[in-house]
């Protein structure tokens, strides 16, 4: 067993520090339960019917809040599958070749059968030197997790985890239920908060819990409403936080709406086809996180007007670095009724299955 050096000790200390925001939220949630369920409902409320209704509604919201928060924290980020990793021979070639066209030629050969449509700002293949893999579309390297994350949205310190393909639905539900939780507390606590200032409450410790509970719930309601609204807008446009700051680059150039398929299909891509699972923190997102349908609204005039799922002609293969690749079977049905695309013919035999199961962190693309 190798001795632990200073670097290893620093990494362990950082891991412990990263859990501080989660511990803070957990303690705050525990106190809010005591303040609301015990001090407000049981001690301060005199009407039995009001007590029962408030406690039932509160525990329902509390359970959904904790469930979605737990899933967001402990769902592992998904990483690119083995097909995107370079072989040993390809790695040796990259090490021998200098940065430049020869370097890119090696990556082009490695990426010729991969479902990749995006590039770097300079038009090069998106390659991660640290993970030594070709990045799938919408995949980015997280400097905190030190790995490439599929459909990375951001690294969130409040959950000590990367928010990406595998837990983005859980993160949205966490924001939604935490907002409802705070709004419900503020609304039901308001009349007792007013009584506090008008000396309508008995002089016990409950009055101070009621006062601080209202302040905390109202404050978090404001901040959570703006954050939740922003992510609802991102879902409606089929964007990640990273893509909102820097638009993806396709063969035809930068396109901020390149992955948007319309509001309904954008929602289904995150929440799935079965609406009965939409409000539950159960994974139901479509696809495998490695490939996504695209809507090329500013197509290269030299390209034929065919969807990304159809194979390019030999002429276009010469003009473009990436030939068109088939979509994953689980994603391609989103495009079948799109008016701007012709009928997609997918070959299930070519689609490869995904992998095991995600503070804004930008990756350094080369």
Active site residues: 156
CB 54 within 8 A of CB 41: yes
The sign of the dihedral angle between the CA atoms of 141, 145, 151, 155 is negative
Q: Cα(116)–Cα(296) distance, rounded to whole angstroms?
A: 14
Give the pair of three-digit tokens for residue 150: 């599929």
The CA–CA distances, whole Å, from 231 to 218, 283, 290 equal 20, 18, 21
- What is the C-alpha separation between 329 and 91, in angstroms, rounded? 30
Q: Would you list the DSSP string of 267-296?
A: HHHHH-S-GGGTTSSS---SS-SS------
Q: Which of 136, 342, 161, 164 is nearest to 242 (CA)?
A: 164
Closest CA to 44 of 225, 194, 158, 164: 194
Cα separation of the two ends of the chain: 36
Residue 319 contacts by C-beta under 8 Å, 6 or more apart in sequence?
302
User: Please, are residues 122 and 209 in contact by the beta-carbon 8 Å criterion?
Assistant: no
3-state SS class at 301: coil
């Amino acid at each position: 067993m190798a001795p632990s050096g200073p670097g290893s000790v620093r990494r362990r200390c950082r891991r412990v520090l990263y859990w501080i925001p989660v511990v803070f939220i957990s303690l705050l949630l525990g106190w809010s339960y005591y303040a609301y369920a015990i001090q407000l409902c049981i001690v301060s409320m005199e009407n039995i019917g009001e007590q029962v209704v408030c406690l039932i509604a509160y525990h329902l919201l509390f359970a959904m809040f904790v469930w979605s928060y737990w899933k967001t924290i402990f769902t592992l980020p998904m990483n690119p599958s083995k097909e995107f990793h370079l072989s040993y021979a390809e790695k040796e070639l990259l090490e021998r070749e200098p940065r430049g066209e020869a370097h890119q030629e090696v990556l082009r050969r490695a990426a010729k059968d991969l479902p990749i449509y995006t590039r770097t700002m300079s038009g090069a293949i998106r390659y991660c030197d640290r993970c030594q893999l070709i990045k799938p579309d919408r995949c980015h390297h997280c400097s905190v997790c030190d790995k490439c994350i599929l459909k990375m949205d951001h690294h969130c310190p409040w959950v000590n985890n990367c928010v990406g393909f595998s837990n983005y639905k859980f993160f949205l539900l966490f924001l939604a239920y935490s907002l409802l939780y705070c709004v419900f507390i503020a609304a039901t606590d308001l009349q007792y908060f007013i009584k506090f200032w008008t000396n309508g409450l008995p002089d016990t410790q409950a009055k101070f819990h009621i006062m601080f509970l209202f302040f905390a719930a109202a404050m978090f309601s404001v901040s959570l409403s703006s954050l939740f609204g922003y992510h609802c807008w991102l879902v409606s446009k089929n964007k990640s936080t990273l893509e909102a700051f820097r638009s993806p680059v396709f063969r035809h150039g930068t396109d901020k709406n390149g992955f948007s398929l319309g509001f309904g299909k954008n929602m289904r891509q995150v929440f799935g086809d079965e609406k009965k699972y939409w409000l539950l923190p159960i994974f139901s997102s479509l696809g495998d996180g490695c490939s996504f349908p695209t809507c090329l609204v500013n197509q290269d005039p030299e390209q034929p007007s065919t969807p990304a799922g159809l194979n390019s002609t030999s002429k276009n293969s010469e003009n473009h670095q990436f030939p068109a690749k088939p979509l994953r079977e689980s994603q391609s049905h989103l495009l079948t009724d799109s008016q701007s695309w012709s009928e997609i013919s997918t070959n299930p035999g070519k689609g490869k299955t995904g992998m095991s199961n995600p503070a804004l962190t930008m990756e350094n693309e080369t």
